[in-house]
Amino acid sequence: MKTNKGYHKLSNHKIPLILYVFLLLIITKVKSQGHQHPILQETELEVPRLSPIPTEVQNIKTPVISLNGTWQVALNNNSPIPVEVPGELVMQGHELNIGETAYYQRNIEIPKEWRNKRIFIKFDAVSSHALVKLNGIPIVEHEGSFVPFEAELTNQIKANNNLLEVAVRANTISDVLGCTSQYAAHTVAGILRKVRLFVLPESNISDITITTTFDKKFQNSKLQIKTKIDLLDTDIPDMQLRYTLIDAKGKQKLHKRLSLESTSKDHKNHTISDVIFEVNNPKHWNPENPYLYQLQTELVKNGEILQKNVQNIGFRQVDIKKGEVFVNGHPIKLHGVNRHAVHPLTGRSLTPELERLDAKLFKEANCNYIRTSHYPPSEEFLDAADRLGLFVESEASLTWIQHHASPIWGHWNYQDEKFLPYMLMANIENIQANKKHPSIILWSLANESRWSPLWDKVKQFVKFMDPSRPNAFHDQCWGGFNNAGSTADIANYHYPGINGPAATDTMSRPTLFGEYAHLSTYNRRELLTDPGVRDAYNQPLVTFYDSIYAHRNNLGGAIWSGIDDTFHLPNGKIVGYGPWGPLDGWRRPKPEYFGVKKAYSPIRIINKGFSGEKVQLHVENRYDFTSLEDIKIIAEINGKKHQIKSKIRPRKKGVITIPSKTKVKTLKMTFYDPLGFIAEEEYYDFREEVVIENPKKKTLSYEENQDSYLMRQGEIRYRVSKLTGAINSIAKDDQTIIKEGPLFSVVPMNSEDGGKNNIAGETYQRNISPLQNFPWFIKFATNFDIQKSEEEIKMVIDVTFKEGKGVLEYTFDSKGYFNARYTISEISKQESPYQYGLVMILPKSFDRLAWKRKGDFTLYPDDHIGRNKGTAQLNAVSTSGVAPWGIKPLHSWKEDANELGSNDFRSTKRNILYASLSNEKGSKVTVLSKGDQSSRTWLQEEHIHWLIADYSNNGSEPFYGTPHSEGRISIKDKVLRGEITLMFE
């Protein structure tokens, strides 16, 4: 929010009466066309100038100069030290406390060719209060963290040796209203985004606003261009505006000239050109075909170009009809993520390359929508969204106003009019900065705040500034919590359960789930223990989005969140909200990334079958705009690739028939998005499953001694304790394979977050440790019943646990299989398990895991911990915290490790057909299953622990709702049953 004001005084000349009346009529007409909005008058605010950066300026070789790089900064009256701009101060090791000021400075030299021109400086973001001086003279003062502002330097600039100073304070009012530093768990202070000098002619273009509106058939479009010119009156007769529209191939689509003699004035005496051009059959911009035109705007005097501006525009129109949002006449379904600008080493200040990478990664995850939580995005991110095709909801930097997560509202009155200017300006500057981007289809007024008459005024002015886009307000549109009657265009609800989509059927407004399907985050110790919780997130997400997709009034949703919000502070701490993104802070895909891609896939193969030698796939096309005839489809039959055609229309279902001259054994289907990346892949293996068998028959025997039974199965020996009924060891020849077990074990649900004091969950810290788990304690065993035949030996034992009673049944058969069953009853402990089953304890040398499973999806990336078939190494490492501090990993996420093992090794593999552990000598233990059990391995107390779980749920994340929380149980007074089948090689 710019807080400086310029004043112009009229000279007090005497004017003849007739001329006076004539001038009065002109002034009256100008005022009627350009009066100030009543809300601005009430708040004494102005819409700040934010010039479009010129591409060319007459007689100027370089009209724009970057001021990025090394500056000097002085803190607490200390001597200046070097600091990088853009960048956060804290992330560079410089603390800025409440009430303190950081004094930035650098010298700037102005090119000789810039003399006698108008010179401006533009800051893309300073957090959170800036006072800019040039040569000791105050130039501009600004409040607000994530929006650009500019100032003119012309009258203060010298020919050389200019000292530019920026006094920066943090934790000011805009920071508090936006919860900027609270949210990041450190003080977000400094010049966060790029800084530029630019030059303009004396008469210059100060603003360009573009609106595109289609006819009823969405064939032809009106292109409205509103250009504001800061114009010397003497220039008017000689001035023209020249507009040129160029398509993506460089072909001129439109070329128009406009005299400035017929323009109007605004309340500040700026010249306004407001014209509408007809454009025939322009290509549409949408996220599936983000076609961009280039608009060239030239200010011309006597045939010479004074100033040229170039910007991309997309022809797209947003409408609301009967509870749905339409883009270019097509109903849309938003499916995306929330995105914070974050990096572990640079905090909220990102490089342009990283901004573009984020857009690319989310696009390739089949997202079509990004909510920029909880502040406006950078120009670089929006440029990428325009080019790649992402709908964007640009959110003002206002959050938790009258919400328990921001404690100050226990003291402040959220309806106090003194806050209106800040609330208003946060939205004005968001629109002013970002209105040129076709990717933006929604303005968000605020995050998780309580509606009030102040918000109604904000909404009114936002609609006045930009009637072409809907607005949203992130509250709760039903229920008793944070529901105060918002009248924003888009209704909103955060964290609905699986019944939420159906509830939107009753809403008159389109209803957006601005945050839903929260990733596991706060169950921090559980996540360190078993990264498989992350893989378990994915199938419920598919179920959830399917429900959203099925309900017309449900506009869509944004998963919380997009990127891990972790900050590796220079003092050795790691802080933030933590690992809540499908991408980690280094931009490595985590297991949920692939789940997002599958849930948001535009292609759904609903069913498959055979018709003679042909394979028939029943397919749903979930693209909003694209027919399958416009995408590349490859069918790989028995390893041979064929291109397939389909004409299934957007949002329709149909059959794709794949002919084959031979019997189809395997089929891989690949669907390429119009932008070239793989949108969907499925793999089908129609061959019969090969059953793993022991090749040789085993001789069975047993013997009893004073304290145990020794069971022999060929070369395998099992020792069973008479005291507890537990198997104390399993050996092959002279080698111990299993030291203890199988033993019954319950892994309790655990949502421990590390215990850090907090107000709203920002509890991530470096010193969080994983969990250990132990078998249930058997007090004693009774009633050993042993039955032997030529084919098997069966042993049934009654046992008493500390927590209940049970029956153990061991079967040793001549085929070489060992089976252990359990029945647990009379459970006295009130406990909710994450998993339960039988655990085995093996020597540490059994550090090679292999598995095959029936995964949730037919095909996974090779580096995904949930892949259907794979191998993993233990690779345990001693760690000094949740992650290596300050070190960018160069390997895949699955290779991250702690003292329990690598992510890949220690993560639960669900629905196994088999899993095995082996050592370097070639000894191997294999568990055979039917796809209804889970395998989890980890290192504990220098031994490998191997749990075969008969029950698993999706984890203990307290933010989970249905469907992710489904399946949770209590085992008190329940009867638990399960088994395990082993084979030794």
The residue ranges of every structural domain in the chain are 56-200, 356-599, 603-672
Alpha helices by DSSP H, listed for 537-681, are 538-550, 591-599
Angle between helices 453-465 and 420-434 (to 10 degrees): 20
Those residues whose C-beta lies under 8 Å from the C-beta of residue 38, and which sit 6 or more positions away, are none
298 and 308 Cβ atoms separated by less than 8 Å = yes
Does the pLDDT of residue 393 top 80, yes or no? yes
- pLDDT (0 to 100) of residue 77: 83
Written as one string, the DSSP assignment of 76-125 is TTPPPEEEEESS-SGGGT----TT-EEEEEEEE---GGGTTSEEEEEES-
pLDDT digits (tens, 9 = 90+) for 87-129: 999 999 999 999 899 999 999 999 999 999 999 999 999 999 9
Q: Where are the beta strands (DSSP E) in 421-545?
A: 440-444, 471-472, 491-494, 511-516
Angle between helices 538-550 and 591-599 (to 10 degrees): 20
* Interatomic CA distance for residues 795 and 808, integer angstroms: 8
Q: Compute the Cα dihedral for 631, 636, 640, 644 and give only its sign.
A: negative
Does the pLDDT of residue 26 top 50, yes or no? no
Closest CA to 619 of 654, 644, 670, 649: 654
Q: Compute the Cα dihedral for 103, 107, 108, 112 and give only its sign.
A: positive
Residue 868 φ/ψ, nearest 5 degrees: -70, -25
Instruction: Name the token pair of 489.
Output: 């265009």
Average confidence score pLDDT of the chain: 94
- pLDDT (0 to 100) of residue 36: 82
Alpha helices by DSSP H, listed for 537-669, are 538-550, 591-599
Q: Which residue has the tokens 């397919």?
A: 619
CA separation, residue 350 to residues 91, 125, 371 (Å): 12, 12, 17
Sheet holding 293-301, edge to edge: 56-57, 304-313, 293-301, 239-246, 252-259
Q: Which residue has the tokens 């499925």?
A: 682
Q: Reply yes or no: is the peptide bond before residue 273 cis, omega within 30 of 0.
A: no
195 and 121 Cβ atoms separated by less than 8 Å = yes
pLDDT digits (tens, 9 = 90+) for 136-168: 999 999 999 999 999 999 999 998 999 999 999
Does the pLDDT of residue 268 top 80, yes or no? no
* Interatomic CA distance for residues 122 and 382, integer angstroms: 18
**How would residue 27 be classed by pLDDT, with cut points 50, 70 and 90?**
very low
pLDDT digits (tens, 9 = 90+) for 507-539: 999 999 999 999 999 999 999 999 999 999 999
Written as one string, the DSSP assignment of 879-905 is -SSSS-TT----S-GGG-EETTEEHHH
Q: Compute the Cα dihedral for 620, 625, 629, 632 and give only its sign.
A: negative
User: How many other CB atoms are there within 10 angstroms of residue 508's CB atom?
Assistant: 9
Does the pLDDT of residue 959 top 80, yes or no? yes
Does the pLDDT of residue 231 top 90, yes or no? no
Does the pLDDT of residue 725 top 90, yes or no? yes
* Interatomic CA distance for residues 309 and 164, integer angstroms: 27
Catalogue the long-range contacts made by 3-10 (C-beta closer than 8 Å, 24 or more residues apart): 3/141, 3/142, 3/143, 4/138, 4/139, 4/140, 4/141, 4/151, 5/46
Burial of 757 (0-12, 13-18, 19+ CB in 10 A): exposed
**How would residue 262 be classed by pLDDT, with cut points 50, 70 and 90?**
confident
At the fourth CATH level, the homologous superfamily of domain 356-599 is Glycosidases (3.20.20.80)
Instruction: Name the token pair of 647.
Output: 């004409």
Query: Any idea which of 253-267, 417-431, 685-699 has the lowest mean pLDDT?
Result: 685-699
**How would residue 476 be classed by pLDDT, with cut points 50, 70 and 90?**
very high
* Interatomic CA distance for residues 820 and 950, integer angstroms: 12
Instruction: Name the token pair of 592.
Output: 């949920």
582 and 574 Cβ atoms separated by less than 8 Å = no
pLDDT digits (tens, 9 = 90+) for 879-936: 988 999 999 999 999 999 999 999 999 999 999 999 999 999 999 999 999 999 999 9
Beta bridge partner(s), residue 796: 785, 809
Class of domain 56-200: mainly beta
Residue 888 φ/ψ, nearest 5 degrees: -75, 120
pLDDT digits (tens, 9 = 90+) for 593-622: 999 999 999 999 999 887 767 899 999 999
At residue 233, what is the residue type? D
- pLDDT (0 to 100) of residue 319: 98
% of residues, the chain, pLDDT over 90: 89
Instruction: Name the token pair of 189.
Output: 């202070």
**How would residue 3 be classed by pLDDT, with cut points 50, 70 and 90?**
low
DSSP label of 346: T
Q: Reply yes or no: is the peptide bond before residue 650 cis, omega within 30 of 0.
A: no
Closest CA to 921 of 977, 821, 846: 846
Torsion of CA 494, 496, 502, 505, to 10 degrees: -20
83 and 73 Cβ atoms separated by less than 8 Å = yes
Does the pLDDT of residue 263 top 90, yes or no? no
- pLDDT (0 to 100) of residue 267: 64
Closest CA to 934 of 873, 855, 843, 841: 855
Closest CA to 180 of 366, 464, 396: 396
Sheet holding 440-444, edge to edge: 471-472, 440-444, 391-395, 369-371, 334-338, 554-559, 511-516, 491-494
883 and 586 Cβ atoms separated by less than 8 Å = no
- pLDDT (0 to 100) of residue 32: 33
Those residues whose C-beta lies under 8 Å from the C-beta of residue 816, and which sit 6 or more positions away, are 694, 696, 697, 698, 713, 714, 716, 983, 984
User: How many other CB atoms are there within 10 angstroms of residue 161's CB atom?
Assistant: 9
pLDDT digits (tens, 9 = 90+) for 532-578: 999 999 999 999 999 999 999 999 999 999 999 999 999 999 999 99
Find the length of the chain.
Answer: 985
Better-scored residue on pLDDT, 761 or 454? 454
Q: Compute the Cα dihedral for 442, 447, 451, 456 and give only its sign.
A: negative
Q: Compute the Cα dihedral for 195, 200, 205, 210 and give only its sign.
A: negative
**How would residue 360 be classed by pLDDT, with cut points 50, 70 and 90?**
very high
pLDDT digits (tens, 9 = 90+) for 293-350: 999 999 999 999 999 999 999 999 999 999 999 999 999 999 999 999 999 999 999 9
Q: Which residue has the tokens 């985004």?
A: 193
- pLDDT (0 to 100) of residue 232: 78
Those residues whose C-beta lies under 8 Å from the C-beta of residue 506, and which sit 6 or more positions away, are none
CA separation, residue 691 to residues 694, 914, 930 (Å): 10, 10, 11
Average confidence (pLDDT) over 631-652 = 96
The third-level CATH classification (topology) of the domain covering 603-672 is: Immunoglobulin-like (2.60.40)
**How would residue 35 be classed by pLDDT, with cut points 50, 70 and 90?**
low
Does the pLDDT of residue 768 top 90, yes or no? yes
**How would residue 8 be classed by pLDDT, with cut points 50, 70 and 90?**
very low
Q: Compute the Cα dihedral for 462, 463, 465, 471 and give only its sign.
A: positive
pLDDT digits (tens, 9 = 90+) for 487-502: 999 999 999 999 999 9
- pLDDT (0 to 100) of residue 84: 99
* Interatomic CA distance for residues 560 and 582, integer angstroms: 9
% of residues, the chain, pLDDT over 70: 96
Element of type H or E holding 524: helix 524-529
